[in-house]
Chain A
């Protein structure tokens, strides 16, 4: 029925199955939309956030999905600026995943603020000294970059491509894509960094506070680095999941291997920097403010030192080693382990840098604040996942996302 829209030379599942899939995911989406509307109409009392937990699940989700969406900017940087041409076979998907992550982040932010109708104040009355301002500006600018990068792909749809204007537009945009990608990389570095800065500048919160370079705390650089390291892992992960669901090989192993190798180097170097940062913070910064490392990991039922070990050793060193050693990363099972661990690691890092910052007491007589999100928060956090799946389903069905698909899956 919709075969006219499906790219030439590839096979897609029958339309009813596709629609059924959309409907199933759509129900989850609607659940999220309902929660979102509740939050907008009734206010943030729908959440379990409180005055101790001003930043909670949503901000974590924002930080995490932006870090995971970091694959787009880093792959773009490698492809367009450093000229790693093989990556053109995965860049489309990286861009799509990035686009989903960033649009989701913006949506969550729009729910998260107390007065959504005033969100534009962040631009209009910008306080340039605030990390959040930097985040907002770079985030929205980079989102337009992603949109610009995604448009040519949409224009490649069989029917749209027939229209000369769109055909030429897509062609012309491809030609100048390097400029956009460069701008995107620049913006992305800054907002990934400033997201790190959000916690790092909080000098009233010894758990988060870091010294740094000029106006940027060390977390600024660590966040950019970790996003560049783990974003591509997430891109590979989603690619592998897509391959599994569609039952097709979509990207050649050498492309994956190249990206995995680069991720390995990034992750390895990142984790060394992270270890140095942690040691300096634990032995110099925190003690100068009156805290022992263990003060941040005791007297509560959740945040133990295990979280630091898991983040650095299990989700940092281990995947870095796997990705760096060719023998390991060429083992499928180990590769999957590594990319999953790396993705979890970066999410865990963001969790710690948002929620544990809020949970840890600062005043000597204050107590730990633990928090469990309300269903509305969970639903609105799942909402972007559902939205992402739907967008991927539609894009995959109607757009030539994987240039190698035709070659790898010839139709008899």
Chain B
């Protein structure tokens, strides 16, 4: 690990999602499915069995008409760093089928290693992990559109968002061919970031001062989901609405979110 430090500073890929801009259109979800060979079934209305690596939650302020407010919240995998890479899911996997990559901060999933115990799913408070309850089937000629960059998953294994790692690999390959040792910010963007019509998602290296996410995460409107648990997620949200920011975590009645000390940024 120390050698790597000298060689190249570790990256920490992360996201900032502007909830004021997010329209809840669902493009991120579909872009992700299309990029990552996510299968579909005839009936996908049981959302607790429907694989959507990034899911758009609809949250409300629970006030009666006409004071009701609604906000959409896209939830990819948070790629929790936890404490020194001790993310909730990685630490529990018995077969080392999921890994926290110190060099990128990406939580990966090795489908061919996973034997489907689903402990990681229980560990994840965000429900970012999905199980393949069925064998994937692509009807008609649809196998033709499968991307060779991402291996389709077999029944009985867990899968999740990997920040489009295959795109990172492609970007690295390209840079390598061109004799560069590193990639530019815009060379590696996730499919959801790219597809979002509202430009609500910003993706980049949270450690890199020149990346847009570096500045955005410091906004006074920025918050993360369930910070109090110490999961230390790498997805930041921006909202100008206080009730939305407050919905990001749990608070005991009378607690002031501002006075709560949260784990390190």
A interface, CB within 8 angstroms of B: 43-45, 49-55, 112-116, 118-119, 121-122, 124-127, 129-133, 136, 198, 201-206, 287-292, 295, 357-358, 362-366, 369
Lowest 10 A-B CB distances belong to which pairs?
A114-B116, A114-B156, A290-B250, A54-B118, A54-B121, A204-B125, A362-B125, A50-B48, A118-B115, A204-B88
Known: A44-B131, A51-B130, A364-B249. A129 touches B91 (CB 8 A): yes
Hey, which chain A residues are within 8 Å of B88, CB to CB?
A: 202-204
Q: Residue on A with the closest CB to B158?
A: A114
Interface membership of B171, Cβ < 8 A:
no
Q: How far is the CB of B152 from chain A (nearest CB, A)?
A: 15
Q: How far is the CA of A289 from the CA of B135 in the complex (A)?
A: 38
Hey, which chain A residues are within 8 Å of B154, CB to CB?
A: 115
Partner of B122, one of A112, A119, A202: A202
Interface membership of B174, Cβ < 8 A:
no
Interface membership of B103, Cβ < 8 A:
no
Partner of B157, one of A114, A287, A292, A362: A114
Interface membership of B97, Cβ < 8 A:
yes
Complex interface residues of chain B between 144 and 158 (CB less than 8 A to chain A): 154-158
Majority secondary structure of chain B interface residues (helix, strand, loop or mixed)? loop
Partner of A363, one of B133, B134, B226: B226
- 17 new A-B contacts, CB < 8 A, other than A121-B97, A136-B94, A365-B73, are A43-B155, A43-B156, A51-B48, A51-B127, A51-B131, A114-B132, A122-B94, A127-B93, A127-B96, A130-B91, A130-B94, A203-B230, A204-B231, A206-B229, A287-B252, A289-B228, A366-B127
Hey, which chain A residues are within 8 Å of B48, CB to CB?
A: 50-53, 369
The interface centre, meaning the residue of A49, A203, A289, A291 with most chain B CB atoms within 10 A of its CB, is A203
Contact check, B134 vs A43: say whether CB atoms are below 8 A apart: yes
Hey, which chain B residues are within 8 Å of A119, CB to CB?
A: 115
Contact check, A51 vs B250: say whether CB atoms are below 8 A apart: no
Q: Residue on B with the closest CB to A130?
A: B94
Q: How far is the CA of A313 from the CA of B247 in the complex (A)?
A: 35
Hey, which chain B residues are within 8 Å of A116, CB to CB?
A: 115
Q: How far is the CA of A200 from the CA of B137 in the complex (A)?
A: 38
* 5 A-B pairs whose Cβ atoms sit less than 8 Å apart in the complex: A43-B134, A45-B133, A51-B121, A114-B132, A127-B95
Contact check, A203 vs B116: say whether CB atoms are below 8 A apart: no
Known: A114-B155, A289-B250. A363 touches B92 (CB 8 A): no
Contact check, A202 vs B116: say whether CB atoms are below 8 A apart: no
Complex interface residues of chain B between 87 and 111 (CB less than 8 A to chain A): 88, 91-97
Q: Residue on A with the closest CB to B260?
A: A290
Contact check, B133 vs A365: say whether CB atoms are below 8 A apart: no
Interface membership of B59, Cβ < 8 A:
yes
Complex interface residues of chain B between 214 and 260 (CB less than 8 A to chain A): 225-226, 228-231, 246-253, 255, 260
Hey, which chain A residues are within 8 Å of B96, CB to CB?
A: 125-127
Q: How far is the CA of A206 from the CA of B94 in the complex (A)?
A: 21
Known: A45-B133, A203-B229, A291-B250. A127 touches B119 (CB 8 A): no
Partner of B49, one of A50, A133, A358, A364: A50
Q: How far is the CA of A9 from the CA of B123 in the complex (A)?
A: 56
Q: How far is the CB of A151 from chain B (nearest CB, A)?
A: 29
The interface centre, meaning the residue of A53, A118, A288 with most chain B CB atoms within 10 A of its CB, is A118
Q: How far is the CA of A118 from the CA of B251 in the complex (A)?
A: 42
Q: How far is the CB of A158 from chain B (nearest CB, A)?
A: 43
Hey, which chain A residues are within 8 Å of B97, CB to CB?
A: 121, 125
Contact check, B247 vs A364: say whether CB atoms are below 8 A apart: yes
Known: A291-B252, A364-B250. A43 touches B91 (CB 8 A): no
Hey, which chain A residues are within 8 Å of B129, CB to CB?
A: 51, 54
Q: How far is the CB of B56 from chain A (nearest CB, A)?
A: 12
Interface membership of B25, Cβ < 8 A:
no
Hey, which chain B residues are within 8 Å of A362, CB to CB?
A: 125-126, 226, 229, 250
Known: A43-B135, A55-B122, A365-B59. A201 touches B116 (CB 8 A): no
Q: Residue on A with the closest CB to B78?
A: A204
Contact check, A114 vs B118: say whether CB atoms are below 8 A apart: yes
Q: Residue on B with the closest CB to A52?
A: B48
Interface membership of B57, Cβ < 8 A:
yes
Q: Residue on A with the closest CB to B227?
A: A290
Q: How far is the CA of A130 from the CA of B82 in the complex (A)?
A: 15
Contact check, A132 vs B127: say whether CB atoms are below 8 A apart: no
The interface centre, meaning the residue of B88, B117, B230, B255 with most chain A CB atoms within 10 A of its CB, is B117
Q: How far is the CA of A355 from the CA of B155 in the complex (A)?
A: 24
Interface membership of B46, Cβ < 8 A:
yes
Q: How far is the CB of A266 from chain B (nearest CB, A)?
A: 29
Partner of A204, one of B60, B116, B123: B123
Hey, which chain A residues are within 8 Å of B117, CB to CB?
A: 112-114, 122, 132
Q: How far is the CB of A59 from chain B (nearest CB, A)?
A: 9
Contact check, B93 vs A130: say whether CB atoms are below 8 A apart: yes
